[in-house]
Amino acid sequence: MTKTKLTPFASLLGAVAGLALAVPAVAQDFPSRAIEYIIPFNPGGESDITARMQEPMMEEALGVSVNVRHQPGGGGAVAWAEFQGNAEPDGHEIIGINLPHIVGQPIQRTDAGYTTEGFDIITWFHFTPHVLVVRADSPFQSLDDLVNFAKENPQSLTVGGSGTFSGNHLETLRMEQLTEADVTYIPFTGTGPLPAAILGGHVGAVISNSTLGVQMGDDVRVLAVASEERLDVLPDTPTFRELGYDIVGGTYRGVAAPKGTPPERIEMLANLFTEMNTTMAERQVPMGFQMTDIRGQAAIDLLARLRDQYGDFLTQ
Amino acid sequence: MDVLIAAALAVLQPHMLLIVLLGVTAGLFVGALPGLTATMALALMLPFTFTMDALEGLVALGAVYMGTIYGGAFTAILINTPGTPSSIATTFDGHPMAKQGRALEAISIATIASVIGGVVGVLFLLVAAPPLAQLALKFGPSEMFWVAILGLTLIGSLGTGSVLKGLLGGAIGLLIGTIGISPIGGESRFTFGWPPLQAGISLIVALIGLFVIPELLNMMRQGRAALDADTGLGNSGFRFGAAMTTVLSKPVNLIRSCLIGQIIAIIPGAGGSITSLVAYNEAKRGSDDPDSFGKGNPEGLVASESSNNVMVAGSMVPLLTLGIPGAPPDAVILGVMLLHGLRPGLDLFAETGVLANGFIISMGLAALMLIPVGLLGGRLIYQVIKRTPHYFLVPTILVITMLGTYALRNNLVDVALMLGLGMVGFVIRGLGLDAAPIVLGLILGTIAEQGYVQTILGGMAMDIPQLRLLENTLSQILIVLTVAVIGWTAWPKRTRKRE
């Protein structure tokens, strides 16, 4: 394992060195001290584990130490608010950001303490599409079965997910809108309790991230996935689009710097995160992650698209 | 059986034993520092596990976890401040024993009880994981609501003070628990427009504020509730044999505490914080002489420490068999497993039996390792605390707790809230209110709210959604238990008064 890792490290070093030659002014003064990498969620979650994998690779590539700090609370809002208020825009302070959280919270709460536009987004490096999951012995063999049942029995089918007005919730609302199914959404605190909720039959179905669908294996049936194309790790699961519903959504994970960070530093960090993605893909793709590199204007467009998609539900 | 032998062989390697030894030792000291929790210790360990293979990584995390939960007992006994939430009940009788000069005896008893609890939890995990996992799945939203209500009835009988003051404390705890983003619904409550309060008051912040700060202020006011007031027993060594006799002399208490620890451990979300409180309360209730509890009765210490160490391996039942983290530290262990391509579930035992069983066996080793590590480390901590004059001890502990509180969420607001709650705690302690009911209210209020709202939401298609709270057999059993406990609290007192 260690040996296979060395090669990407070496290429990473090469890439960074090349970049340093191209933009010498940057290389000399950045990074000049330790990088603070804030994760606004609890230890052990997907954001945390990813950052812990990135930490040693970043240290190797940048030649300075990288401090991953947790600052959980308010579904990420506490850390994002403090970051926008206090972080130095010099590239040494970066923070994990998640979608649709940073779009949804400022619309829905009056005191979120931060704005969606208040970040310089480095890159969105992960996407975990939503999946609709039922227990393996559920009578619902397909999405149609579930939708028909929910039409005939309004509100009696319960769908569990993580949080209120979170990605899972918004996707449930969108599914109801497009399929005309009438279900009852039950929020749980985080993804942790969802396996118990579905295996114990406390909810009829769950909308969660692809990683949960992969993790639970044969105990569940994944009825549909909200990605553009089928996932390699769930080859038998159709996409919502294949089934006739235009639902593409999930959780995007990325990193941001404070507004006003020099663009060449943003670009350097974006390249670094993309390089690290190729190394992490080996471990994370089988877990259900999709590796992405959405940066620059595309990253801003993504915010706009999500606001269009979910904004109505949030302002209602 | 072959798998078990292979697993045992895989774990009984010199370097594995070294990992266990180092893990337990590190965990012990982290656990002994107020504010540094098991979750944090495991999160700090994460990067190290990436360089290890899957079994080594899991063994290291298991050992640290076991050490941390045990380490919380030291500060609980010696300075009346629980090092982790799971050792709250250890303060009730552990510290009075220390004040009587029986600190080393208390440490020995806590150690033996912890070891027994740890080993019992491992045995449960090896033998009974699948049926226990099925039981765990029965705890849905309505059951969780009733578990929380049953837990709240403890307030009536916990502590030595009046029932009324206990209930008042519990109500304060419930109110503190409502601050922040509501667990269901997502509205911000009582944040007064101030973004940092979205995170709410964390349990650890309340725990440190309400337990540690008043105790420190007390030490400043009165000098130290002297560990050095020797009755001639404190210095006579660990009295290991005597402690063993004490622990084993009440087998019913020990068995009951272990069972309670195991059952609570598998209820997802209830976690270790209330395990020791429930076990302590049952020990008190089951005793011939309940009035001696809270005044240095070793039985209370045994109940608390055995039950909370059962929980370490016990909470692995839903984690390993179903992928459900039963307590916050388990989430970190789950993360490490997924990263190593291990999928929790019964397949884990079928396909990677050596690894799964090796991990379990290593936790048993970690429990046994508590004897040498705990007795030596315990002596060290005891000597340091005993010899340090209180004018050094108080500021040192204060700084450590502030660092711990900050490290919790890297948030200065938490430190301010902790100090503020500490002042409140000091004042209300003067009024005769205990901290334990407040903390219990804080823990259980959130669980109850979540269970209630989820149950009602699930019944939206019914005419009276509230009826769903009464539907399941397990809910009904919990309701009967709740009524019985309330009756027990009210009844004997009245008869006693008549006599």
Report pLDDT digits (tens) over B148-164.
Answer: 898 888 877 775 567 78
Mean pLDDT of B412-435: 90
Mean pLDDT of A182-211: 91
Mean pLDDT of B12-24: 93
What is the predicted pLDDT for the residue at B339?
78
For A112, the closest of B195, B269, B339 (CB atoms) is B195
Kindly report the nearest CA distance between residue B435 and chain A, in angstroms.
24
What is the predicted pLDDT for the residue at B237?
58
pLDDT: which is higher, B35 or B315? B315
> What's phi and psi for B425, nearest 5 deg?
-60, -40
Instruction: State whether A197 and B46 contact (CB < 8 Å).
Output: no
Residues 6+ apart with CB under 8 A from A126: A50, A251, A252, A253, A254, A284, A289, A290, A291, A292
Residues 6+ apart with CB under 8 A from A50: A126, A253, A280, A284
Nearest-CA residue of chain A relative to B468? A202
Residues of chain A contacting B268 with CB distance shorter than 8 Å: 193, 196
B412 in contact with A at a CB cutoff of 8 Å?
A: no
How large is the angle between the packed helices B88-99 and B435-458, nearest 10 degrees? Answer: 170
Nearest-CA residue of chain A relative to B188? A109
Kindly report the nearest CA distance between residue A259 and chain B, in angstroms.
19
Task: Determine the straight-line distance between the first and last CA of chain B, rounded to whole angstroms.
Answer: 59
Report pLDDT digits (tens) over B57-82.
Answer: 999 999 999 999 899 898 889 888 88
Can you list the pairs that A150-157 forms with residues at least 24 positions away whose Cβ atoms lie under 8 Å?
Answer: A150/A179, A150/A181, A150/A182, A150/A183, A151/A180, A151/A181, A151/A182, A153/B461, A154/A182, A154/B461, A155/A182, A155/A183, A155/A184, A155/B460, A155/B461, A156/A184, A156/B461, A157/A181, A157/A183, A157/A184, A157/A204, A157/A205
> What's phi and psi for A108, nearest 5 deg?
-85, -30
Residue A5 has pLDDT above 90, yes or no: no
Mean pLDDT of B402-431: 88
Residue A308 has pLDDT above 90, yes or no: no
From the list A271, A270, A140, the residue with the least C-alpha distance to A206 is A140
pLDDT band at A94 (very low <50, low <70, confident <90, very high): very high
Instruction: State whether B458 and A81 contact (CB < 8 Å).
Output: no
**Rounded to an integer, what is the distance from CA B275 to the centroid of its chain?**
6
> Does the structural domain A129-225 have CATH classification 3.40.190.10?
yes
Q: With residue B188 as reference, give the H or E element that holds it.
A: strand B188-189
What is the predicted pLDDT for the residue at B270?
65
Residues of chain B contacting A77 with CB distance shorter than 8 Å: 181, 195, 198
Note whether B153 and B440 are within 8 A (CB).
no
- Mutation target to probe the A interface, by most A beta carbons within 10 A, among B40, B56, B317, B324 is B324
pLDDT band at B228 (very low <50, low <70, confident <90, very high): low
**Taking the CA atoms of chain B, what radius of gyration do you get in angstroms?**
22
What is the predicted pLDDT for the residue at A267?
94
Domain extent at residue B453:
2-498
Report pLDDT digits (tens) over B437-450.
Answer: 888 888 888 889 88
Q: Which of A62-76, A264-278, B263-277 has the lowest mean pLDDT?
A: B263-277
Residue B47 has pLDDT above 90, yes or no: no
Q: Is the pTM of this model over 0.95?
A: no
Tally of domains in chain B: 1
Report pLDDT digits (tens) over B479-492.
Answer: 998 898 888 777 76
What is the predicted pLDDT for the residue at B271?
59
Residue A258 has pLDDT above 90, yes or no: yes
For B268, the closest of A78, A154, A196 (CB atoms) is A196
What is the predicted pLDDT for the residue at B238?
60
What is the predicted pLDDT for the residue at B358?
92
pLDDT band at B493 (very low <50, low <70, confident <90, very high): low
pLDDT band at B2 (very low <50, low <70, confident <90, very high): confident
Residues of chain A contacting B40 with CB distance shorter than 8 Å: 43
Average confidence score pLDDT of chain A: 87
Residues of chain A contacting B184 with CB distance shorter than 8 Å: 164, 187
pLDDT band at A316 (very low <50, low <70, confident <90, very high): low
* Most confident residue range from A24-33, A104-113, A267-276, B219-228: A267-276
Instruction: State whether A43 and B332 contact (CB < 8 Å).
Output: yes
Instruction: State whether B331 and A192 contact (CB < 8 Å).
Output: yes
Average confidence score pLDDT of chain B: 85
Kindly report the nearest CA distance between residue A212 and chain B, in angstroms.
10
Kindly report the nearest CA distance between residue B47 and chain A, in angstroms.
6
Report pLDDT digits (tens) over B266-315.
Answer: 887 665 678 888 899 889 888 888 888 888 899 999 999 999 899 888 88
**Rounded to an integer, what is the distance from CA A23 to the centroid of its chain?**
31
What is the predicted pLDDT for the residue at A21?
45
- Of chain B, the percentage scoring pLDDT greater than 90 comes to 26
Ordered by start, the domain boundaries in chain A are: 2-127+250-315, 129-225
Mean pLDDT of B37-50: 82
What is the predicted pLDDT for the residue at B161?
64
What is the predicted pLDDT for the residue at A17?
47
* Most confident residue range from A24-38, A111-125, B375-389: A111-125
Options 3.40.190.150, 3.40.50.2000, 3.40.50.300, 3.40.50.2300; CATH for A2-127+250-315 is: 3.40.190.150
Residues of chain B contacting A215 with CB distance shorter than 8 Å: 323, 338, 343-344
In the numeric block, which tokens belong to residue B301? 């210490």
Note whether A264 and A209 are within 8 A (CB).
no
Kindly report the nearest CA distance between residue A104 and chain B, in angstroms.
11
Instruction: State whether A195 and B323 contact (CB < 8 Å).
Output: yes
Strands A119-135 and A290-294: antiparallel
Q: Which of A8-12, A300-304, B183-187, B259-263 has the lowest mean pLDDT?
A: A8-12
Residue B130 has pLDDT above 90, yes or no: no
- Of chain A, the percentage scoring pLDDT greater than 90 comes to 62
pLDDT: which is higher, B202 or A295? A295
For B331, the closest of A44, A154, A165 (CB atoms) is A44
- Tell me how crowded residue A242 is: count the other CB atoms within 10 A of its CB: 13
What is the predicted pLDDT for the residue at A9?
47
Residue B469 has pLDDT above 70, yes or no: yes
Residue A170 has pLDDT above 70, yes or no: yes
What is the predicted pLDDT for the residue at A28?
57
pLDDT: which is higher, B354 or B494? B354
What is the predicted pLDDT for the residue at A2?
39
For A217, the closest of B191, B341, B347 (CB atoms) is B347
